[in-house]
């Protein structure tokens, strides 16, 4: 356990000393702050716009940061040969991957927390009184970030950052639009139910990221909105978190399986 | 005899590379063992398969066939890893860390408590002459400094066995001598050292035994004195005939005494008489040439 922690801490430290990550993060915070300015232009809608832009920003930048760091996480170690000295140390390969992943999780947690704090301060200035709705919304986005990270790390155990980034972004986009895709499949393949069920099965295997960004849609037939006071319940958040963490664990197990079998040449 | 520290039996590695999956047999059936307390040199020209063999020993790549054992355990074994130190070929380390942080990080991977790690880190940094650079980030380190830092991190667990891949490469003559002395002092601490090199003089000066590897095969294993044929190549005699130097090479059959007597009687001074036996260099060249002739 100590060793996994040492690897996680080292990974966190590396990220903290990476200037590019700061640049992305500062940009994200500026975007959230800019929501305030946009809000000023529209009468009485300031808070609404800040919420939408802020959550959107956290979602997009959280995922960008996750993909960006995730696809490099293991690949860079192999490419730069930094793991040559450490794989022979008394650690299992799975401990190495898990430590790297946890280090990245630590980094992303700090980043999501920072963006959330910026958003909350912005909203508070606009007269928002803290409620559980925004906490639940941010928590869902955070779980989504963890899931996307696991997928990026999975690809980075056997593929270049560029390809891993494309694959992960692809899965993200498909995962975000599962209901639309289901509807599309239903309409397009009315006459060939076997094709439709195969495609539906494929979608079933891919992560359902739609679970994590619910505002403005229907959840179990009930409209959910961060504005109207009919947002998803804590029970829903718990369920979605369970799904996200379970899915991440499976993907990570696969990543470890591949990483444990490969040659470091 | 005590159990070997490293045992390699019929070890093979075939790489498939490129789009066409072309096959390269990098290691073709190596068998040797390294005994406790010895300095074992693993010598061969570039591309002979030294790094490939060492990577299999360290669990970085998997053998295509054969076995390798460290401290009596099949690789990889956590218990064995705990007692081994490893310096990779031209080591690369995290550029965001300082020298001190890197050695400390290595110590954490051995689960050493801070009370052991801290003083040992300082001692090792001092041993490799990096105390002054310990707080610099590694991106500012030269190749030679990284090599020395690599040695420091390899010794953080006070290992029984030290495996070094080309420890002297990238160093200037003084640096080379320092590393040689360090390896010598490891032996006097009772550690077993297994190191690879393509630099023959390093091996000749250091090793108790060595293995010569050419194109993925072992050509010879044994004490250096046995690998080098004890036979005399020639005797070099340098004379001074009235101020004019003269050099003669006498073949092993010639009578050196008679030659010298005749020379002295003829008014010459004897400057030097050197029996030239085979050097590792000669052996090396002989092996590589034999290999090329076979192609
Ligand atoms: N990843 C790889 N893919 C294909 N061939 C390789 C790979 N690594 C090493 N080789 C080949 O294996 C042989 C041995 O290489 P290596 O073990 O690095 O030699 P040495 O360390 O003795 O210089 C060389 O011919 C090299 O080209
Ligand atoms: Mg080599």
B98-127 pLDDT, tens digit each? 999 999 999 999 999 999 999 999 999 999
Q: What is the pLDDT of residues A174-230, one digit of tens each?
A: 888 888 888 888 888 888 888 888 888 888 889 988 888 876 677 777 777 877 667
Quote the domain boundaries for residue B154.
6-223
Q: What is the pLDDT of residue A110?
A: 92
Distance (Å) of CA A11 to CA A1, A23, B43, B94, B95: 15, 18, 37, 10, 12
Contact B117, B107 (CB under 8 A): yes
A161-185 pLDDT, tens digit per residue, is 999 999 999 999 988 888 888 888 8
What pLDDT is attached to residue B189? 92
Contact B141, B149 (CB under 8 A): yes
Domain assignment present for B83? yes
Q: How many domains does one find in chain B?
A: 2
* Token couple for B156: 């953080």
> Is residue B199 in some structural domain?
yes
Looking at the domain assignment, is residue B282 inside a domain?
Answer: no
Residue B291 lies in a domain: no
User: How many whole angstroms separate alpha carbon A11 and alpha carbon B116?
Assistant: 23
**CA–CA separation, B41 vs B76, rounded Å?**
22
What is the domain-level CATH number for residue B16? 3.40.50.300
**Percent of chain A scoring above 90 in pLDDT:** 47
Residues B214 and B239 in one domain: no
The residue among B186, B201, B223 that closes a domain is B223
- For B:66-85, CB contacts with A below 8 A are 78-79, 81-82, 84
Q: Checking DSSP bridges between strand B209-214 and strand B39-43, what pairing results, if any? A: parallel
Which of A13, A81, A89 minimises the CB distance to B96?
A13
**Residue B214 shares a structural domain with residue B127:** yes
Instruction: Assess contact for B230 and B41: CB atoms under 8 A.
Output: no
- Residue B285 domain-assigned? no
User: What HEC string does chain A produce?
Assistant: CHHHHHHHHHHHHHHHCCHHHHHHHHHHHHHHHHHHHHHHHCCCCHHHHHHHHHHHHHHHHHHHHHHHHHHHHHHHHHHCCHHHHCCCCCCCHHHHHHHHHHHHHHHHHHHHHHHHHHHHHHHHHCCCCCCHHHHHHHHHHHHHHHHHHHHHHHHHCCCCHHHHHHHHHHHHHHHHCHHHHHHHHHHHCCCCHHHHHHHHHHHHHCCCHHHHCCCCEEECCEEECCCCCCCCCHHHHHHHHHHHHHHHHHHHHHHHHHHHHCCCC
Bridge pairing between strands B73-74 and B65-70: antiparallel
Ligand 1: list residues with CB < 6 Å: A 265; B 15, 17, 24, 26, 44, 46-52
Pocket test for ligand 1, best of B18, B24, B53 (most atoms within 8 A of CB): B24
Q: What local confidence, expressed as pLDDT, does residue B19 receive?
A: 81
A265:B97 CB<8 A: no
- CA-nearest of B192, B181, B183, B196 to B84 is B192
Q: Is residue A17 part of a domain?
A: yes
Percentage of chain B modeled with pLDDT above 70: 96
Neighbours of B67 (CB within 10 A): 13
- Tell me whether residue A265 is in a domain: no
Take residue A62 and report the two structure tokens written for it. 């959280």
Q: Which of A42-46, B158-162, B286-290 has the highest mean pLDDT?
A: B158-162
Closest by CA to A150, choosing from A102, A201, A184, is A102
Q: What's the number of CA atoms in the CB half-sphere (13 Å) around residue A217?
A: 12
Residue A133 domain boundaries: 2-260
**Residues B174-186: pLDDT tens digits?**
888 888 999 999 9
Mean pLDDT on B224-235: 74
Q: Are residues B136 and B196 in the same domain?
A: yes
- B186 and B249 in one domain? no
Alpha carbon distance B87, B112 (integer Å): 19
Residue A73's contacts (CB-CB under 8 Å, 6 or more residues apart) are A11, A100, A101, A104, A152, A153, A156
The answer to whether A104 and A70 are in contact (CB under 8 A) is yes
Given an 8 Å threshold on Cβ–Cβ distance, is A90 in contact with B78? yes
State the helix-helix crossing angle for A93-125 and A234-261, rounded to 10 degrees: 150
Domain count, chain A: 1
Q: Is A118 among the domain residues?
A: yes
Structural domain includes residue A60: yes
Partners of residue B86 on adjacent β-strands:
B163
> What one-character DSSP code corresponds to residue B205?
H
Is residue A175 assigned to a domain?
A: yes
ipTM above 0.90, yes or no: no
pLDDT for B117 equals 96
The SS3 of residue B252 is coil
Closest of A88, A93, A106 to residue A10, by C-alpha: A106
Residues B254 and B216 grouped into a single domain: no
DSSP B125-194: HHHTT-GGGTTSBGGG--HHHHHHHHHHHHTTT--SEEEEESTTTT--HHHHHHHHHHHHHHHHTT-EEE
pLDDT beyond 80 at B225: no
Q: At which of B178, B202, B223 does a domain end?
A: B223
B209 part of a folded domain: yes
The residues in A 21-80 lying below 8 A from B, measured between CB atoms, are: 80
- Between positions 203 and 222 of B, the ones with CB within 8 A of A are none
Q: Do B109 and A89 touch (CB under 8 A)?
A: yes
Kindly determine whether residue B153 and residue A85, on different chains, have CB atoms separated by under 8 Å: yes
Question: Is residue B267 included in any domain, yes or no?
Answer: yes
A-chain CB neighbours of B92 within 8 Å are 80-82, 84
Residues B123 and B247 in one domain: no
End-to-end Cα, chain A, rounded Å: 28
Per residue in B9-68, pLDDT tens? 999 999 988 888 889 999 999 999 999 999 999 998 888 999 999 999 999 999 999 999
In a domain, residue B102? The reply is yes
pLDDT grade for B229, boundaries at 50, 70 and 90: low
The alpha-carbon radius of gyration of chain B (Å, integer) is 23
**Backbone dihedral region for residue B242 (phi beyond 0: left; psi -120 to 50: alpha; all else: beta):** left
Tell me the β-bridge partners of B113. Answer: none
Tell me the whole-structure pTM to 2 decimals.
0.87
Contact A13 B97 (CB under 8 A): yes
| Tokens coding A11 | 């990974």
| CB atoms closer than 10 angstroms to residue A113 | 12
Sign of torsion, CA A110 A18 B85 B112?
negative
User: B239 and B123, same structural domain?
Assistant: no
pLDDT at B295: 67
Residue numbers of chain A with a pLDDT score lower than 70: 39, 42-44, 215-216, 228-229
Give domain status of residue A196, yes or no.
yes
**Domain match, B38 and B130 both:** yes
Put simply, whether A19 touches B (Cβ < 8 Å) is no
A89 to chain B: closest CA residue: B81
């Amino acid at each position: 356990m100590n060793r996994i922690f040492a690897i996680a801490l080292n990974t966190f430290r590396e990220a903290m000393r990476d200037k590019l990550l700061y640049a992305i993060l500062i940009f994200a915070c500026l975007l959230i702050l800019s929501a305030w300015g946009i809000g000023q232009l529209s009468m009485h809608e300031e808070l609404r716009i800040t919420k939408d832009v802020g959550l959107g920003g956290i979602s997009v930048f959280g995922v960008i940061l996750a993909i960006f760091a995730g696809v490099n996480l293991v690949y860079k170690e192999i490419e730069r040969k930094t793991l040559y000295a450490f794989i022979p140390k008394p650690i299992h390969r799975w401990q190495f991957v898990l430590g790297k992943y946890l280090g990245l999780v630590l980094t992303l947690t700090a980043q999501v927390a920072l963006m959330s704090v910026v958003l909350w301060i912005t909203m508070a200035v606009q007269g928002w009184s803290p409620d559980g709705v925004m906490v639940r919304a941010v928590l869902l986005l955070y779980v989504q970030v963890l899931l996307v990270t696991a997928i990026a790390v999975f690809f980075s155990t056997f593929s270049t950052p560029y390809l891993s980034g494309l694959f992960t972004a692809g899965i993200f986009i498909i995962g975000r639009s599962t209901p639309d895709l289901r509807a599309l499949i239903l309409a397009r393949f009315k006459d060939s139910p076997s094709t439709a069920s195969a495609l539906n099965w494929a979608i079933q295997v891919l992560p359902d990221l739609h679970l994590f960004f619910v505002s403005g849609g229907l959840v179990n037939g009930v409209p959910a909105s961060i504005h109207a006071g009919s947002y998803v319940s804590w029970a829903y958040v718990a369920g979605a978190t369970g799904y996200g963490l379970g899915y991440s664990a499976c993907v990570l197990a696969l990543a470890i399986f591949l990483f444990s079998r490969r040659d470091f040449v | 005899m005590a159990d070997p520290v490293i045992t390699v039996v019929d070890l093979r590695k075939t790489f498939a590379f490129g789009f066409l999956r072309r096959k390269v047999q990098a290691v073709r059936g190596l068998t040797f063992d390294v005994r406790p307390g010895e300095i074992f040199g693993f010598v061969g020209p570039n591309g002979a398969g030294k790094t490939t063999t060492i990577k299999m020993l360290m669990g970085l790549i998997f053998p295509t066939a054969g076995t390798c054992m460290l401290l009596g355990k099949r690789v990889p074994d956590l218990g064995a890893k705990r007692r081994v130190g490893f310096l990779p070929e031209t080591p690369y380390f995290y550029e965001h860390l300082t020298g001190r942080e890197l050695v400390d990080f290595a110590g954490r991977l051995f689960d050493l408590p801070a009370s052991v790690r801290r003083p040992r880190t300082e001692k090792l940094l001092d041993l490799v002459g990096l105390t002054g650079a310990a707080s610099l980030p590694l991106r500012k380190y030269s190749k030679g400094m990284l090599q020395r830092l690599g040695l420091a991190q390899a010794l953080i667990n006070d290992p029984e066995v030290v495996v070094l891949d080309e420890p002297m490469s990238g160093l200037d003559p003084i640096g080379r001598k320092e590393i040689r002395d360090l390896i010598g002092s490891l032996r006097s601490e009772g550690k077993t050292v297994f190191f690879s090199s393509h630099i023959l003089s390093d091996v000749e000066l250091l090793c108790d035994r060595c293995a010569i590897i050419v194109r993925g095969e072992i050509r010879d294993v044994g004490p250096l004195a046995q690998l080098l044929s004890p036979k005399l190549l020639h005797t070099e005699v340098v004379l001074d005939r009235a101020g004019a130097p003269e050099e003669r090479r006498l073949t092993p059959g010639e009578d050196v005494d008679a030659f010298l007597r005749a020379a002295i009687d003829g008014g010459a001074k004897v400057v030097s008489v050197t029996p030239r036996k085979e050097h590792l260099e000669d052996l090396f060249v002989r092996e590589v040439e034999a290999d090329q002739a076979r192609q």
